[in-house]
Amino acid sequence: MGAAASLLALAPALAYGQTDEEPTERKTLAPLVVTSEEDTQAAIQEASTSVDALTSQALEDRDIRRIPDIFTAISNVDVNDITEIASVPTFTVRGTAEDINIDAFGGTPSVAYYMDDIPALSVYGRSLPIFNLDTASFYKGPHGTRFGAPGSAGVLRLASLLPGNELNGDIGYTYGSYNRHQIDGSVSGPIIKDRLAIGFGGLFETREGYVHNAVLNDSYGDIEEVSGRMQLVYTPSADLEILFTLGLANQDNGGPNFTSNNGGDLFTVLQGIEGFQKYDSDVEALRITSRRDGYRIVSATSRQSNDGDILYDFGTFFFANPFTLETVYGTYKVSEESYTQEFRVESDDESSPFQWSAGAFFGTRENKTTGEFTYSNLQFPGFGTVNGASTFPNNAKQDTYAIFGEASYTFWDRVEITGGLRAETVESKRNSELIDPLFFFGGNSTNSGKKTTSGISPMAGISWKWDDDHRTYFRFSTGFQPGDIASASHLNAGAPTEYDEQTSYHFELGHKATYLDKRLTVNPTVFYTKYDDYQAYVDMGLPGLPVSAVFNAQSAHAMGVELQIVAEPFEGLRIASNLGIQEAEYDRFRSGAGTYDGNDIPNIPSFTARNNITYRHALDGGNAVMGMVECNVTGDYKYDQKNTGGQDAYTICNARIGYEWAQSAVYLFAANLLDEEYLPSGYAAFPAGTFRGTPGAPQTFGVEFRANF
């Protein structure tokens, strides 16, 4: 499904299944992805690659509601969430760091994701709800020989619980800190038994902002969101399934929260206007699955649109004096539409030693954005009194064509040899302007053009199955990140008119082991990645101003180790740790941006530790009590290419307890128990050494009630 409303899997069922809990009955045709506890864990252990998987019980127990929350459970993966552009968090995976300034303006994201086999091209909507999920699986590193959508850093694959022959429904209400109210629900059932089923889901949420606006003496960053989804499943025969999905979403939120790390209160802003962030999204998707003798054919088609409008007071980026307000307003408008079509043919006989898949992908994405800064009696050093506006219209279009395939053969039920290839061509067009009559950003400029980049990405791997409990694998893969035409404002920052494609070479050595009758899993991994022409976004001009540009660093590398441990010492108790240590640096980075040889690549934590303990105790009559505690540690990292500022290590601990009846439940939960204050990402601002961004959520508490039928 598409990136915005496509993620509106909105109706969380009360009974879930997870890799570490009792499996949930599947109320639809045989799934294309594994969903039960045993199948999911077995698939992870059999995969000759690094993959993390959560099923719906884990998502519910951890109160995971959005895509960024999924990544808090995965090692060496992090979320960078600057809400100048709402609903567009970016991700870092090992050494690859997405940048909002590239992806939100028509560039290609590094992390791809799928909902029910529907690929997405857009980054918009990544923070929208993802309820009613059956499983969430993340594949680290390039997997373009298996999936069509571009994703040089990794692929997130989501599968929802589909409507079937049984009439099901649920409703939930949540009340929490900052006057949070959330109502969500779903209903699904048959129209024609064994042939046609339909499901509806919806969510409404309001919450006051975490941040206090000291100027207007009011909360800032309030949210109001309503979203819904309809799924229609038609099964004319046992071998044919047609899934139609329609999703809609509306966000009417307060303005972006720009606070400073310069010794002040992260949860106080000084904004002379209320500001807003408004988004409307919709998606229509069609998936057709046909099973034949020993193979299956999948066709996935989608259309997605996103429209957004933002207003905020940008004056606090310029002044140490917090009361010099209402001088610079920022506006941002986006209109984006994308279409995707993917065909896959893949083997469907798991008992065969020969497994294979092949496919073709086409995606087109048109992005129209306009940013504007309006100045009203701005007293700015070196400029005097400034009145007027600087405008940044940008129209971008990107067409992606790819063919891909991979195959594996297992010899003697012990040695698996895997190989694959992907051929990809991306055509990028851009028409952008900088209308700057005041010469505030270097004067007027334009940049238009077309750039075509192509890449061949091979993959090879080998694994050795020592016995039923031990497997060692080695995997080599390549990533391709297309080049593009630079935005007009980049030219005034000394950037070239276009930037080149980025190529990465990934080496991964891993071992997967189970002990104590599969009650203990230990999966260590070592990785090394070499980058050529790493795409880096560098601040070039005045702090806080968009005089920045994309440059290609000549070479960079990332390396690290990961350790996944899952223990289930007795029924109902699960202990999980995902640990990671990594280094990501520029080996050679010399250009108009400066010389950054040896600098850390921004926003990539030096280490991560994701720790979770969940216990569910069965009672008489089908009732149960549960408890969950998790502590996620994120290591230190830099905000910018120059390494002039950054975030220290921080720890986020969450907890949840509940009582579950057969058809209802009540939960108490707490997030950020230690009330840790941190700034996930930051822009350079005044005074020198100051970075501004959106703070992480503070300590919150709440209660959730659920009922189902």
CA dihedral 162, 166, 167, 169 (to 10 degrees): -50
What is the per-residue pLDDT across 31-57, written as a single tens digit (0 to 9) for each?
A: 333 344 455 555 555 667 888 888 778
> Cα(55)–Cα(62) distance, rounded to whole angstroms?
11
pLDDT at 694 over 60: yes
Of residues 33 and 83, more confidently modeled: 83
Q: Look at residue 599 in the predicted model and tell me its pLDDT.
A: 96
Structure letter (DSSP) for residue 71: H
Q: pLDDT tier at 492 (50, 70, 90 boundaries)?
A: confident
Task: Tally Cβ neighbours within 10 Å of residue 234.
Answer: 16
Strand arrangement of the beta sheet that strand 218-220 belongs to: 218-220, 211-213, 268-269
Q: Look at residue 10 in the predicted model and tell me its pLDDT.
A: 28
Q: What percent of the chain has pLDDT over 90?
A: 53
Q: Look at residue 547 in the predicted model and tell me its pLDDT.
A: 61
What is the per-residue pLDDT across 545-560, written as a single tens digit (0 to 9) for each?
A: 556 778 899 999 999 9
622 phi, psi to nearest 5 deg: 80, 10
Q: pLDDT tier at 220 (50, 70, 90 boundaries)?
A: confident
Which CA distances in Å does 394 have to 82, 272, 370, 607?
20, 28, 6, 37
pLDDT at 170 over 50: yes
CB-based burial, 635-649: b 16+ in 10 Å, e otherwise: bebbbbbebebbbee
What is the per-residue pLDDT across 232-279, written as a single tens digit (0 to 9) for each?
A: 999 999 999 999 999 998 989 888 777 776 666 888 877 777 888 898
CB-based burial, 683-708: b 16+ in 10 Å, e otherwise: bbbbeeebbbbbbbebebebebebbb
pLDDT at 107 over 70: yes
pTM value is 0.88
Q: Look at residue 316 in the predicted model and tell me its pLDDT.
A: 57
- Residue 218's Cβ-side half-sphere holds a number of Cα atoms within 13 Å equal to 11
Q: Look at residue 320 in the predicted model and tell me its pLDDT.
A: 43
Q: pLDDT tier at 60 (50, 70, 90 boundaries)?
A: confident
Q: Look at residue 542 in the predicted model and tell me its pLDDT.
A: 52
Q: Look at residue 82 in the predicted model and tell me its pLDDT.
A: 56
What is the per-residue pLDDT across 653-671, written as a single tens digit (0 to 9) for each?
A: 999 999 999 999 999 999 9
pLDDT at 186 over 60: yes
Q: Look at residue 513 in the predicted model and tell me its pLDDT.
A: 95
Q: Look at residue 34 in the predicted model and tell me its pLDDT.
A: 37
Across-strand partners of 506?
477, 529
Q: Look at residue 494 in the predicted model and tell me its pLDDT.
A: 74
Specify whether the CB–CB gap between 265 and 232 falls below 8 A.
no
43 phi, psi to nearest 5 deg: -65, -40
Per-position DSSP letters for 390-411, written without gaps between them: EEEEEEEEEEEEEEEEEEEEEE
Instruction: Find, among 480, 479, 639, 641, the residue nearest to 549 by Cα.
Output: 641
60 phi, psi to nearest 5 deg: -75, -45
Q: Look at residue 531 in the predicted model and tell me its pLDDT.
A: 97
Q: Compute the mean pLDDT over every residue in the chain, rounded to the nearest whole number.
A: 84
Of residues 545 and 340, more confidently modeled: 340
pLDDT at 590 over 70: yes
Q: Look at residue 285 in the predicted model and tell me its pLDDT.
A: 94
Query: Which residues in 325-444 belong to E strands, given as ranges?
Result: 328-347, 354-380, 384-411, 415-434
What is the per-residue pLDDT across 439-468, written as a single tens digit (0 to 9) for each?
A: 777 788 899 999 999 999 999 999 999 999
Q: Look at residue 324 in the predicted model and tell me its pLDDT.
A: 46
Structure tokens belonging to residue 416: 């698996």
Q: Look at residue 52 in the predicted model and tell me its pLDDT.
A: 85
Q: Look at residue 55 in the predicted model and tell me its pLDDT.
A: 79
Q: List Cβ neighbours of 14 (8 Å cut-off, separation of 6 or more).
A: 170, 660, 663, 664, 665, 706, 707, 708
Q: Lowest mean pLDDT: which of 141-150, 311-320, 337-346, 688-697?
A: 311-320
